[in-house]
Amino acid sequence: MEKKNNPDTIQNSIIYANNAATTWPKPPSVLAAVYKAAAGPYLEQGRTTVQDVPDYLFETRRRLANFFNTRDPDAYVFTAHATDSLNLLIHGFARQEKGPFHVITTLFEHNSVIRPLYELQKTGRISLTVIPPNAEGIIDPDDVSGALRDDTKLGIFSHAGNVIGTVQDISEITRIMDEADIFSIIDGAQSAGQIPIDLSRILCDAFVFTGHKYLFGVPGTGGFFLRSPDQIYPVRQGGTGIDSSSPVQPESMPERFEAGTPNFPGIAGLGAGIAYVQDIGIEAIQTKTMGMISDLIQKLQEINGVSILHEHPQTPLVSFQIPGLDPDDIGYILAKAYRIITRSGLHCAPWVHSRLTEGKGAVRISLSYMNTFEECAQIADAINALCQSE
Amino acid sequence: MEKKNNPDTIQNSIIYANNAATTWPKPPSVLAAVYKAAAGPYLEQGRTTVQDVPDYLFETRRRLANFFNTRDPDAYVFTAHATDSLNLLIHGFARQEKGPFHVITTLFEHNSVIRPLYELQKTGRISLTVIPPNAEGIIDPDDVSGALRDDTKLGIFSHAGNVIGTVQDISEITRIMDEADIFSIIDGAQSAGQIPIDLSRILCDAFVFTGHKYLFGVPGTGGFFLRSPDQIYPVRQGGTGIDSSSPVQPESMPERFEAGTPNFPGIAGLGAGIAYVQDIGIEAIQTKTMGMISDLIQKLQEINGVSILHEHPQTPLVSFQIPGLDPDDIGYILAKAYRIITRSGLHCAPWVHSRLTEGKGAVRISLSYMNTFEECAQIADAINALCQSE
């Protein structure tokens, strides 16, 4: 097996293809924004007493509203990550419901959806319908309609999957939900920054995003857009800097869901990350990333022994197996021998893996705008060499 | 009223005295650590496939264990802030209890304790005893003993108060709790980094800290030490990178409470912040900060018209009123005319303010090791001038 030389620094030597977990590298503007906000000074953000420091929170909220094409910046709540967002929304919705209710979701969901739902299911709070995709990896909106019951109150839908990269028709799915008066949550962790999203035209009640993936922020940031705050109970309570004499969480947005000191540096970085995406443009990003993934998939298809889970992704990722090799071993060899960083295993998405890999897992290559066609060629070469050496 | 010239930069011109909210400035080593971790690359932390990048999470956990003198680094859980920690602990404890139970707490608590407890109280899950301090601002451990009931299951105690700066005898209080087999949570948001804390000698079940105050990390970080994980139900669920095929949260620590992608940059910064505190030494920090606050209080006592809430703090903060002036106006004038940053209002501590200021609030000056005696003299001069001009 060919082994590459070790250059001086990791940064120069690795090929990073685990962007669906966390994008890397980050734009210099993001790092600069994080540093500047961390350096401070820390003045009263949002309730300013000295005007010289940017209001990082509101600036980023305004940018989010612009990016997702909605009007009110205060409809965007900051959280620690998409998992935090989904917990606040799912448990906050359930807290409002008196009796048991029915939830519709899809086979593509991440453990950040599966585990909160299971928590509600095992305590008898909900019953659950999990909709599988068709052979093309698409959730048929008719299947969503068909799953509706009189007691259906909530629908949660992954926008873009983190294992095979298909994108769901959330416009139609949320239209069905809206027509039936069912609260709908879209998990946009894998889609925001990758495909155009216009929340003025999508009838979801809540849209979840994370900062550290394709919006190019740093880990520790995420949030959600929420159309009607009173439909979600604030299950986390604490200081908000307003209405301090009241023992209950304020009703106003975004304080209703933002107890505790916000992650100013991370949120400033998220604003810079969205600006980076906007400056390049989603279409230009897609053209490059989808071009790279098409090239890579084509090369992988030519390698004997590589089994691709899905050959027509709509986001730049591809998962594969090499029969006879454990995915974790493949990931390990790619990292150690070729310094190619992938993610092996179940990708926190056990349901889709149980269907597509019988729970055995796969190796995922996920690209961002920061990757190059040359890196994709090197990845294909490494996988080819790995297959030949077996 | 004398108005200062505006120098070129805020950093050079402001006197920052709101450290009980967030310390500023941050040590350069903290900013460097945040930047380095944010710059990446992002490899598999904790489950490393390429060894060249520090495991920021474990490094900081190890430092926390060293700092608080406990053995197992994995007993430290990272959260978004102390509010997040307290919610996970309070709601996670309540989730384990079948029937209603009794909780003991103190008048000094922050809204991050008050609001979660009120949430449980209003739904009939708990009854609550709030212990007031004596005239010296101290919670008498005998009062804690006296509050015990057969159904008391939980005690939550602020270690150092954020309004008058007294420090409670948590060794004795947690001994009482331990003897009665009651789960005890210490809120160390204001104490960690300010006074020596040896968790090997304090019988608390959980100790809450925040990153962005006296441990000199950046906002977006916090956590808790937990002695017996199975006493707290994981009320936030999601991906952990381990046991991904299971729909329930892993039982192992710290994954049980750490769903979602951690704030690597913030946690790396927290590690550097604790190292900064350890390098200087808590005793040296206390000597300087308590010297400064004593000087300041002495000067304030000489000003006609200043009413100090408590003249013998054990952490470097002092809150005051000027009768006839609204605390918010005082804070505003200090900021605008003197560029002195304080925090006015209720400090998210409505209970203690309801007792000490009849809910009218006060102006708080809170120092850190980064302040100077000269700044304290300038603060006293400004308050003196403000009183004379009235």
Q: Are strands B340-341 and B317-321 parallel, antiparallel or unpaired?
A: unpaired
Residue A74 confidence class, pLDDT cut points 50, 70, 90: very high
Determine contact, residues A157/A139, Cβ cutoff 8 Å: yes
In the block, residue with structure tokens 């299950």: A235
Q: Do A50 and B341 touch (CB under 8 A)?
A: yes
Residue B49 confidence class, pLDDT cut points 50, 70, 90: very low
Q: Do B235 and A91 touch (CB under 8 A)?
A: yes
- Which residues lie across from A186 on neighbouring strands? A157, A207
Lowest-pLDDT choice from B4-13, B35-44, B90-99, B322-331? B4-13
DSSP label at residue A160 = B
DSSP element (H, E) containing B10: helix B10-13
Q: Do B346 and A244 touch (CB under 8 A)?
A: yes
The percentage of chain A sitting over the pLDDT mark of 90, rounded to a whole number, equals 92
Lowest-pLDDT choice from B41-55, B234-248, B347-361? B41-55
Residue A50 confidence class, pLDDT cut points 50, 70, 90: low
Q: Do B264 and A348 touch (CB under 8 A)?
A: no
> Do the first three CATH levels of A7-17+281-388 and A28-279 match, i.e. the same topology?
no
Which of B271, B275, B265 lies closest to B35, judged by CA? B265
Determine contact, residues B203/B177, Cβ cutoff 8 Å: yes
For range A46-75, the mean pLDDT: 85
Please give the structure tokens belonging to residue A381.
């070469």
Could you count the other beta carbons within 10 Å of the beta carbon of residue A64?
23
What is the reported pLDDT for A52? 66
A29 touching B (Cβ < 8 Å): no
What is the reported pLDDT for B52? 66
Q: Which residues of A touch B328 (CB under 8 A)?
A: none
Which of A247, A235, A242, A238 lies closest to B130, judged by CA? A247
B341 touching A (Cβ < 8 Å): yes
pLDDT in tens, B249-290: 999 999 999 999 999 999 999 999 999 999 999 999 999 999
For range B114-125, the mean pLDDT: 98
User: Distance between terminal CA atoms of chain A?
Assistant: 9
What is the reported pLDDT for A48? 41
What is the reported pLDDT for A289? 98
pLDDT in tens, A347-369: 999 999 999 999 999 999 999 99
Q: Do B41 and A264 touch (CB under 8 A)?
A: no
For range A128-157, the mean pLDDT: 98
What is the reported pLDDT for A44? 67
Edge-to-edge strands of the sheet including A222-226? A76-79, A222-226, A206-210, A183-187, A152-158, A101-106, A126-131
DSSP element (H, E) containing A102: strand A101-106
Instruction: Name which of A18, A263, A359 is nearest B245 (Cβ-Cβ).
Output: A359
pLDDT reading at B8 higher than 80: no
DSSP element (H, E) containing B208: strand B206-210
How distant, in Å, are the alpha carbons of A67, A118, A231 from that of B191? 41, 38, 38
Q: How far is CA B359 from the centre of its chain?
A: 22
What is the reported pLDDT for B389? 85
Peptide bond into B254 cis (omega under 30): yes
* Alpha helices by DSSP H, B97-193: 111-122, 141-147, 170-179
Cα(A264)–Cα(A221) distance, rounded to whole angstroms? 10
Domain spans in chain A, listed from the N-terminal domain onward? 7-17+281-388, 28-279
Cα(A76)–Cα(A258) distance, rounded to whole angstroms? 10
For range A371-389, the mean pLDDT: 97
In b/e form, how buried is each residue of A103-137, taking b as 16+ CB within 10 angstroms? bbbbbbbbbbbbbbbbbbbeeebbeebebebeeeb
Cα(A183)–Cα(A170) distance, rounded to whole angstroms? 13
Residue B205 confidence class, pLDDT cut points 50, 70, 90: very high
Q: Which residue of A has its CA nearest to B48?
A: A332
A244 touching B (Cβ < 8 Å): yes
Could you count the other beta carbons within 10 Å of the beta carbon of residue B99?
7
Edge-to-edge strands of the sheet including B183-187? B76-79, B222-226, B206-210, B183-187, B152-158, B101-106, B126-131
What is the reported pLDDT for B54? 83
Instruction: Name which of A21, A83, A220 is nearest B220 (Cβ-Cβ).
Output: A220
B146 touching A (Cβ < 8 Å): no
B233 touching A (Cβ < 8 Å): no
A18 touching B (Cβ < 8 Å): yes
Could you count the other beta carbons within 10 Å of the beta carbon of residue B282?
17
For range A217-226, the mean pLDDT: 98
Helix, strand and coil content of chain B, in percent to the nearest 5, comes to 40, 15, 45
B26 touching A (Cβ < 8 Å): yes
Which of B231, B234, B33 lies closest to A83, judged by CA? B234
Question: Across chain B, what does the average pLDDT equal?
Answer: 94
| Burial status of residue A99 (CB atoms within 10 A of its CB: 0-12, 13-18, 19 or more) | exposed
pLDDT reading at B47 higher than 60: no
Query: Residues near A272 by Cβ (< 8 Å), separated by ≥ 6?
Result: A27, A29, A30, A32, A33, A34, A216, A217
B238 touching A (Cβ < 8 Å): yes
Q: Which residues of B touch A241 (CB under 8 A)?
A: 348
What is the reported pLDDT for B181? 98
The percentage of chain B sitting over the pLDDT mark of 90, rounded to a whole number, equals 92
In the block, residue with structure tokens 């608390």: B204
Determine contact, residues B246/A201, Cβ cutoff 8 Å: no
pLDDT reading at A217 higher than 80: yes
Lowest-pLDDT choice from A158-162, B50-54, B321-325? B50-54
How distant, in Å, are the alpha carbons of A187, A210, A218, B260 from that of A285? 21, 18, 19, 26
pLDDT reading at B97 higher than 70: yes
Cα(B100)–Cα(A302) distance, rounded to whole angstroms? 65
Please give the structure tokens belonging to residue B320.
């005051």
pLDDT in tens, A241-280: 889 999 999 999 999 999 999 999 999 999 999 999 999 9
* B65-94 residues touching A, CB cutoff 8 A: 79-84, 86-87, 91
Mind spelling out the 3-state secondary structure of B148-165? Answer: CCCCEEEEEEECECCCCC
Cα(A195)–Cα(A167) distance, rounded to whole angstroms? 9
pLDDT reading at B2 higher than 90: no
Helix, strand and coil content of chain A, in percent to the nearest 5, comes to 40, 15, 45
CATH architecture of B7-17+281-388: Alpha-Beta Complex (3.90)
A16 touching B (Cβ < 8 Å): yes
The yes or no reply on domain B28-279 and CATH 3.40.50.300 is no
What is the reported pLDDT for B46? 45
* B291-330 residues touching A, CB cutoff 8 A: none
Which residue in A47, A218, A355 has the most chain B C-beta atoms within 10 A of its own C-beta, making it the best mutation to test that interface? A218
A11 touching B (Cβ < 8 Å): yes
pLDDT in tens, A321-345: 999 999 999 999 999 999 999 999 9
Determine contact, residues A63/A274, Cβ cutoff 8 Å: yes
Determine contact, residues A15/A379, Cβ cutoff 8 Å: yes
Q: Which residue of A has its CA nearest to B259?
A: A83
DSSP label at residue B255 = G
**How many CB contacts within 8 angstroms connect chain A with chain B?**
276
For range B85-100, the mean pLDDT: 97
Determine contact, residues B17/B366, Cβ cutoff 8 Å: yes
Which residue in B156, B263, B326 has the most chain A C-beta atoms within 10 A of its own C-beta, making it the best mutation to test that interface? B263
